[in-house]
Chains A and B, each alone.
Chain A
Amino acid sequence: MSVDRRTDTEPEAGAETQDENLVELKVFRYDPDVEEKQKPRYDEFLIPRERGMSVLEALIEARDRFDPSLTFRHSCRQAICGSDAMLINGQHALACKTLVEDLAEPIRVEPLAHLDVEKDLVVEMEHFYDQMAAVEPFFDPDELPDDALTEQRQSPENREQIKLSTRCIWCASCMSSCNIAAGDNEYLGPASINMAYRFLMDEREGEQRGAERIEHIADDHGVWRCQTQFSCTEVCPKDIPLTEHIQALKREAAKKNLKFW
């Protein structure tokens, strides 16, 4: 089988690109440490097509077969680690969850938008993690049971209420899609607010902790920044209704500040 790697950005109308046995990938390349890659460009890879092949598998093939310097994050390959969120044909997606056969070719693979690119498809996640940490995303009840072995039980209804918010895999797709987050570096962002929702709505935490959490998320760069563009909800690979959760927290914040009775 003839397999070729192309580095020209303008594909030639050749027989190889028409080959049905090959998948054509156009991958964003950038590396500040390598002179010829300091100016971003796209590299084209022709990968042997496999049935049920994911974009991640195609990228791994491109790296292992043609260019070991091709850099991207991946780990679990089953849409749970959140490492391989990227733009695939201009849409936010997890590469491991996106099948090649569902996409128009050539498949354009780019790093997440609105986040600094470190190298190739790897983006700077530090800011995202800082925002996640800012809402203190851990269970922190007002009172602990006297006995360390006593279970802290949650009602099935309450569990149902927060169920979807617990699905977050920290992939940063929502942050990348959010135009408000792009324009305001201090904005907590959808994932972080969703995390606050997960604990704020947890009935076991208690009122005092809840009030502290509300105070934090009702900050100028908190929930009120959300303009309900629904981009985060659209792109979330775990189908978390992020806007809905942000709106719920806005109402909680309003309730806290507008008590006339």
Chain B
Amino acid sequence: MDLQTLTYIVVGLTFSLYIGIAIWARAGTTGEYYAAGRGIHPVANGMATAADWMSAASFISMAGLIAFKGYDASIFLMGWTGGYVLLALCLAPYLRKFGKFTVPDFIGDRFYSSTARIVAVICLIVASLTYVIGQMKGIGVAFSRFLDVDYATGLYSGMAIVFFYAVLGGMKGVTYTQIAQYCVLIFAYTVPAVFISLNLTGNPLPQLGLIGDTADGTPLLLKLDQTLVDLGFAEYTAQKGGTFNMMMYTLSLMLGTAGLPHVIIRFFTVPKVSDARTSAGWALLFIAILYTTAPAVGSMARLNLTNTIQHGEVGDPQGNLVYEERPDWFKNWENTGLLQFEDKNGDGRIQYYNDGNAEFAAKAEAEYGWKGNEMVKVDRDIMVLANPEIAKLPDWVIALVAAGGLAAALSTAAGLLLAISTAISHDLLKRTFMTGISEKSELLSARIAMAGAILVAGYLGLNPPGFAAQVVALAFGLAASSIFPVLMMGIFSTKVNKQGAIAGMLAGLLSTLLYIFSYKGFLFIPGTELLANTPDNWFLGVSPEAFGALGALLNFVVAFVVSNMTAPVPDDIRQMVEDIRVPKGAGDAQDH
């Protein structure tokens, strides 16, 4: 059986599994699983949260960024896991005690203002929509390879499937489907990693393989450093970016993790406040399995990719791969347009090196006759999907990875689209502007909102402002600067009032948006940038993806200053804040 057929079969099987579980669980749901007050077990909830959380950015994109950025990509590893500490310690138990349906509900009640709720809804929509753009990039990559078409066609097919997936709704919201998706996703991620780790280091645990030795006794990471330096690249393990930027980037991802509404609402579904604390731990455990594997996947993929193209001595004319003899994965990814080769020196062989390194480029031209890097495009987002093929793993593993990538991208995209449409139909229309709206019109407006969000995200996904994980990082910056600070102040301060919260959210959101748009273009439209996106232009050397941390600081400062100048918080709200600090007396779990 050829690879393409096998991939269709595996993807088809996993999708029938999700649909089957959705139908089975739905039949028993109302009576059994969501019976008032019982909610979902913390371990099950943790696994479902992990599936909801790990998207195309984690599954498809992150290891690719690690492969090409090396140590500097640690920001994603620490940022996207460290946020769970903030969530578990500072937010989840208190929001669970508060016991409302959505994040804007909390902000609206705590700051006794429907204006605050509307501002929170706007922040939520901006952050979630940016997040979906990142998912669309991942979906486009996955579908272009899966259907063997170019990136744009892959993206359009993906958009259509996301629309059905999210609108039918049955796939999402049912915890047991998400548990199945988690199992497929984590199996698909770890199996190739185990194989590759065994091949390269003899250690089946990728976490140990990363710090293990290769066959000739050299540690893997040192060998990778050497391989890259020989081709003019920077050392894999060296720090290339600024230290302050790294710290702000990490902080921004951490605050954003704790501020993203689709993760927070998962903690409203557990039975008790103490369960909200442990559930965050279980979620982190299930996420950590992928996140501690990712650095091994990234480093080993980079080594395998480089060694496939440069299989012999650097400078030896026989040392480079002959283009006509390129492996199948190379041809397949060329079809998507995400991998491009150009025979600059006309020798019929592929030279892949860093021609941006002037010294090495000059030497390569003079001594080896190389006329520039011939791998003119290697999209970072293809690395995880191409990895098992590069490592020559069996076809079923390759098919499995495709299924895992699609599961990750679709589940999170559907979840986010639901969050956006709920925000518009529930928080904005039903609770604020059209209180008399019928259930039927509410549902219709939710679907229209969802279709609109898919079209906008798909359009922007055609020319994404970065690789999937970077676009998603922008979304985290927006959540970090707007939502996280008011949640913190809502719980830990009795002094911050409605004027403070509204001014704080607006200051955080607008400053971060302005900063991002200045470098990435207004609404990410190419050509509308105010400044070139280079480290020299950045404020204090902070990149657009990392600015959320500074936006959050601004949010805190503005909120405290404005609160001090305006009327104090009413007594009943003060009482409410003191009440949410104590676990006893929490209401029933919310069904999401």
Does B bind A? Answer: no
